[in-house]
Structure 1
Amino acid sequence: MNFGQVLTAMVTPFDQNGDIDYHAARTLINHLIANGSDGLVVAGTTGESPTLTSNEKLDLFRFVAKVADGRATVIAGTGSNNTRASIDLTRQAEATGVDAIMLTTPYYNKPSQEGLYHHYKAIAQATSLPVMLYNVPGRSAVTIAPETIIQLSEINNIVSVKEASGNLDAMTDIISKTSDDFTLYSGDDSLTLPVLAIGGNGIVSVSSHIIGGYLKEMVQSYQNGNVQRAALIHQDMLPTMKALFAQPSPSPVKAALNMIGIYVGDVRLPMVPLSIEEKKQLQQMLPPNKITDAG
């Protein structure tokens, strides 16, 4: 299923009390849609999902769907390492107006491939919404094997995967052995162009908060056959992408948004804001035409 070319793993704005700031969220949603985002992934890791309650997630799903109002696909992060809890949250998310759900690989309990298959199958069968799998071994300590993803793709509403394994060979295997309407998105900003080259659909991005327009131009340039232009954009934007992951995410991207005047507050513990020195280093790596007074 094609959710668009550039999907943003949206941060969750917080106010000074650490509560969700819906006024800031509205500004952020409009900023992202105006700057290249075809879709928004809500309450994923970048949205600090481990620190959000189920009620906060549902309120956020409802709010983002309402503000986006069809201008962008809204994908709700409802996955966890608790299958029953994921099913419950997914069923409740259906009523919020979101377009699809994203299910992260179960973390910490380290299931087998058989366990992964049945985890995803159980959640998918409990919803009518399209499902995007999320393979992120760097955070989950478990990799969904290509064979498991291929098998899961045969379930009607499992329609896509966000691949953050960094393994282009595995991604090629998935793309070549799934149906044409099953889509693969890079989960690593810096691999967007290589993933497009092997047949991927686009990117679920963090850096699109800051350079979404550039990412969109890069994807479209590649797809229109202007590979040289796409490569130049990739080369120019790579330092910014790397800077946005120089410290644990989403602390850098939240700091960068605050720098460009899209105020999203700080992170919740156990994440911590960037130090003054880290902010200075980050600011030097942002595109100059995007910088305003960093305060």
Structure 2
Amino acid sequence: MSFEGVHTPLVTPFKADGEIDHDLLGKHAADLAGRLSGLGVGGTTGEYYALSFEERVRTFNTVAQAAGGKTNLNAGINATTTREVIRLGQEAKRAGIPALLVAAPYYTQPTQEELLTHMLKVDDALDMPIMLYNFPARTGTAIGDEVLEKLLERPNFVAMKESTGDIAHLHHLATHFKDRLLFACGMDDQVLEFFVWGAKSWYAGAGNFLPEIHMALFDACVKKGDFALGRKLMTQLLPVLEVLERGGKFIQYVRYGCELAGKPVGVARAPLGALSEAERRDFAKLVQPLLHNAQ
């Protein structure tokens, strides 16, 4: 299992009645398996917070069956309690998913000491490679330096998806944790800056519908060190990523991007609503040229 490369957190397809379309989820995962470095199931893009425990477990099994052995897989197992996180991790492990994405429990806002205890209990119970997920805007709790230092003493904590949006914190990670932590870009419109500072991983929601240019950008910057080409590719992709990260409707835009790519996946679960006609029109103008270039 490797966390390097471009990994996409899979969208969860829904039918017209709001139920998960597992056939489409499996096909989507299988299609992307050969086009990206890895896939995540149970992430924010997949609306894990809107799924029941049973629904989340079934998505683990669907993706593992469709893409297991074909690409790197990881399961997002975030929940509000340590007990539920561990239960989800056990189900992911049982499904055959080899690695985990673990954030701070959302809404509960544990102290740093409580967060450390939580993470250690998860590691003790599951013993699997873990990518931490630092997204305090969503969870309410940052993964601080003291917690990170302690976790890195254990072999399973190998990476962190950094989604604070704070470039200064990126600089801090790149200089203070160099060679000890694989850090991944989790703020898509900043990915070029991440690559400049040595990131070798990118968790990208728009990879659901634009996998080729994501891989091309990664290859240019990380594999070839060609940042002139990287800037050229990022200039093409940046308007799309800015809408995703700054437009306030990340999940809706990813879903519409899939529709534009010929893979409609339904609408988000309430309380999230649909894009307006103007939002759809403006986003299509940005995405369609990139889809055309990928053909």
Q: TM-score range by the shorter chain?
A: over 0.9
The one-letter code sitting in structure 2 at the alignment partner of 1:238 is L
Partner of 1:159, secondary structure, is strand
- Residue aligning to 2:132: 133
1:84 and 2:80 are equivalent in the alignment: no
Shift of residue 272 of structure 1?
1.3
Q: Structure 1 CA distance, aligned partners of 2:271 and 2:114?
A: 29
Would you say the 8 A contact 2:101–2:131 is kept in 1? Answer: yes
Partner of 2:23, secondary structure, is helix
1:15 and 2:18 are equivalent in the alignment: no
- Residue aligning to 1:235: 235
Q: Structure 2 CA distance, aligned partners of 1:278 and 1:126?
A: 45
Shift of residue 179 of structure 1?
6.8
1:202 and 2:231 are equivalent in the alignment: no
Would you say the 8 A contact 2:220–2:229 is kept in 1? Answer: yes
Partner of 1:25, secondary structure, is helix
Q: Structure 2 CA distance, aligned partners of 1:4 and 1:182?
A: 12
| 1:214-229 → structure 2 map (5 Å cutoff) | 214-223=213-222, 224-229=224-229
1:41 and 2:56 are equivalent in the alignment: no
Would you say the 8 A contact 1:244–1:253 is kept in 2? Answer: yes
Q: Structure 1 CA distance, aligned partners of 2:290 and 2:221?
A: 24
| 1:1-295 → structure 2 map (5 Å cutoff) | 2-35=2-35, 37-178=36-177, 180=179, 182-223=181-222, 224-245=224-245, 246-290=247-291
TM-score, L = length of structure 1: 0.92
Q: Structure 2 CA distance, aligned partners of 1:287 and 1:202?
A: 26
Would you say the 8 A contact 1:2–1:201 is kept in 2? Answer: no
Shift of residue 73 of structure 1?
1.1
Q: Structure 2 CA distance, aligned partners of 1:238 and 1:177?
A: 28
The one-letter code sitting in structure 2 at the alignment partner of 1:9 is P
Partner of 1:247, secondary structure, is coil
The one-letter code sitting in structure 1 at the alignment partner of 2:267 is D
Shift of residue 276 of structure 1?
1.9
Would you say the 8 A contact 2:78–2:103 is kept in 1? Answer: yes
Query: Structure 2 vs 1, CA of residues 54 and 82 (structure 1 numbering), >3 Å: closer, same or farther?
Result: same
Would you say the 8 A contact 1:131–1:157 is kept in 2? Answer: yes
Query: Structure 2 vs 1, CA of residues 135 and 85 (structure 1 numbering), >3 Å: closer, same or farther?
Result: same
Would you say the 8 A contact 2:210–2:290 is kept in 1? Answer: no
Shift of residue 13 of structure 1?
0.5
Shift of residue 125 of structure 1?
1.1
User: Which sits farther off after the overlay, 245-254 or 130-139?
Assistant: 245-254
- Which one has a larger percent helix, Structure 1 or Structure 2? 2
User: Which sits farther off after the overlay, 265-274 or 164-173?
Assistant: 164-173
The one-letter code sitting in structure 2 at the alignment partner of 1:81 is T
Give me the CA root mean square deviation: 1.8
Query: Structure 2 vs 1, CA of residues 290 and 39 (structure 1 numbering), >3 Å: closer, same or farther?
Result: same
User: Which sits farther off after the overlay, 176-185 or 279-288?
Assistant: 176-185
Partner of 1:108, secondary structure, is coil
The one-letter code sitting in structure 2 at the alignment partner of 1:60 is T
Would you say the 8 A contact 1:2–1:181 is kept in 2? Answer: no
Partner of 1:120, secondary structure, is helix
The one-letter code sitting in structure 1 at the alignment partner of 2:5 is Q
The one-letter code sitting in structure 2 at the alignment partner of 1:20 is I
Would you say the 8 A contact 1:193–1:219 is kept in 2? Answer: no
The one-letter code sitting in structure 2 at the alignment partner of 1:169 is A
Q: Structure 2 CA distance, aligned partners of 1:287 and 1:218?
A: 18
What is the number of residues matched between the two proteins? Answer: 290
The one-letter code sitting in structure 1 at the alignment partner of 2:131 is M
The one-letter code sitting in structure 1 at the alignment partner of 2:255 is K
The one-letter code sitting in structure 1 at the alignment partner of 2:270 is L
Shift of residue 4 of structure 1?
2.8
Q: Deviations over 1:205-254 (max 9, x none)?
A: 11112222111111111121211001111111100112234232211110
The one-letter code sitting in structure 2 at the alignment partner of 1:89 is L
The one-letter code sitting in structure 1 at the alignment partner of 2:258 is L
Would you say the 8 A contact 1:27–1:262 is kept in 2? Answer: no
The one-letter code sitting in structure 1 at the alignment partner of 2:209 is I
Q: Tell me, which stretches of 5 or more residues in structure 2 are unaligned?
A: none
Q: Structure 1 CA distance, aligned partners of 2:205 and 2:182?
A: 19
Would you say the 8 A contact 1:146–1:174 is kept in 2? Answer: no
Q: Structure 1 CA distance, aligned partners of 2:209 and 2:93?
A: 30
Shift of residue 65 of structure 1?
1.1
Would you say the 8 A contact 1:13–1:265 is kept in 2? Answer: yes
Partner of 1:184, secondary structure, is strand
Would you say the 8 A contact 1:166–1:188 is kept in 2? Answer: yes
Would you say the 8 A contact 1:13–1:22 is kept in 2? Answer: yes
The one-letter code sitting in structure 1 at the alignment partner of 2:21 is D
